[in-house]
Structure 1
């Protein structure tokens, strides 16, 4: 859904951004290409009342990992996880949520922090060629490393969602460059990825989705300013920084 979180005029005056540059929560794939679910079998869809809202990642038979800003306001009875398909809102198997665990430190000021959540499913995922759990990374890739993110979000800023699963490759930024892009908004639980000059990014509809390097989950799509803009990279919740929390609550 890459929902818009409209931050107050005061916040933007403090941090030097224009009021026309709202944070955008949950991403969409821009500048990407179609893939089969077999190329990203960990990819899941977070659905609310039968409609796709965000992305997610399969991390075990019983749990999917997503973003807290996707799930923080949702009743567990209304949430389900769809896996095993590269088509938006069709195919694969749908699993009702039995528990939602949002990070207890999640907050949105001055930017989304500890933006991670776990969704436990009532009926376990059946692992196969199109449904696989992805291991959690314990260290972030070095700056400049190529990483891949995927989802069904819109393909242009303010555009429509994709009917087919898309993937795009971007590069990890150094934490210093990330902080220069978003002064006073980046914490140790976040990092940035993008490409020089913009043009490739996540945006509306992909929040909570995976960022992958070397077959491991390194990030969760979280926020950014606009989509695929130059000097405004995507910001991801750091899986290595939050892996202990995931293990504590999900055992993986």
Structure 2
């Protein structure tokens, strides 16, 4: 990560795609490494979990299958990109394996209000060329405020870095983090907007999403409630992860999904 604001997209992917560095670099993280306090997660248990890759196969963001041909991810993962430049990989726990399916993207929708992660509206929908045979996840609706109560355990998933500035993970990793009260998150971040964002993390830090996990899910009680978006550092005390509050965009997503 580094810098005052962490964008959870793995920006290195762009460099590697341009320079032609082999995509195997992303798979050098060992099986015993952790997603900043997390552990290995089974793709069979989270069949909705997908990752976004360059045409060269380099994973740089995550996403959630919410219909057989629709993926929800972060706007900052795809804003300014062409559908032809993005592939979606599903059913693959180990990035070095050839399991699962790879789907081209037919079209993409980025929330029209998105300009910067700190301003909100960090949500996008990818429409796939072919439906995927994996179970989608239910997403939070406009009446699901109870899922956002402070203290509720949230599940985060991804193939991102296991430490700030470290290597991305070869395997799908997961961790549990409690939702943070809006007032506490506002104390951590002056740009936090409760109407469009939700925070999750431990006060002492130690468990968090990190760079490369952008667009991935925040799940509460089996429901997709958030999208990995931004923060400061990785797993720092007093600096929880910030996620797009999916409930706030329920109406517009109903139109897109």
Q: Indicate the TM-score class for this superposition, using the shorter chain for normalisation.
A: 0.7 to 0.9
The runs of 5 or more residues in structure 2 that have no matched partner are: 11-34
2:101 corresponding residue in structure 1: 93
In structure 2, C-alpha distance between the alignment counterparts of 1:181 and 1:24, rounded to whole Å: 14
- Contact residue 74 and residue 227 of structure 2 kept, 8 A: yes
Q: What's the counterpart of residue 218 of structure 2? A: 211
Task: State the Cα deviation string for residues 166-200 of structure 1 (Å, max 9, x = none).
Answer: 00000001111111110133241101000120000
State yes or no: 1:108 paired with 2:105.
Answer: no
Matches within 5 A, 1:2-151: 21-26=3-8, 29-49=35-55, 50-88=57-95, 90=97, 91-108=99-116, 111-126=118-133, 131-138=134-141, 139=144, 140-151=147-158
| Bigger Cα displacement from structure 2, 213-222 vs 85-94 | 85-94
Distance 1:146 1:237, change over 3 A: same
User: For 2:169 and 2:252, how far apart are their aligned partners in 1?
Assistant: 32
Name the SS for the 2:184 alignment partner.
helix
Once the two structures are superposed, what CA deviation does each residue of 1:42-76 show, in whole Å capped at 9, x if it has no partner? Answer: 10001122221100000001100000000002111
In the alignment, the residues of structure 2 paired with residue 89 and residue 79 of structure 1 have an alpha-carbon distance, to the nearest angstrom, of 18
Structure 2: how far apart are the matches of 1:197 and 1:27?
24
Residue number among 235, 238, 246 corresponding to 1:228 in the alignment: 235
> Residue 116 and residue 97 in structure 1: after superposition, are their counterparts in 2 closer, same or farther (change >3 A)?
same
- Structure 1 segments unaligned to the other structure (5+ residues): 5-19
SS of 1:149's partner is strand
Alpha-carbon distance between aligned partners in 1 of 2:138 and 2:9, rounded to the nearest angstrom: 22
Secondary structure at the aligned position of 1:57 is classed as strand
| Contact 1:57 1:64 (8 Å CA) reproduced | yes
Q: Distance in 2 between matches of 1:241 and 1:113?
A: 10
- Shifted more, 194-203 versus 239-248: the winner is 239-248
Note the C-alpha offset of 1:208: 0.1
Give the Cα–Cα distance (whole angstroms) in 2 for the partners of residues 105 and 113 of structure 1.
Answer: 8
Which runs of 4 or more aligned residues in structure 1 lie more than 3 Å from their structure 2 counterparts after TM superposition?
Answer: none
Q: Is the 8 A contact 2:9 2:77 kept in 1?
A: no
8 Å CA contact 1:47, 1:81 repeated in 2: yes
How big is the shift at 1:141?
2.6
Q: Aligned Cα RMSD in Å? A: 1.6
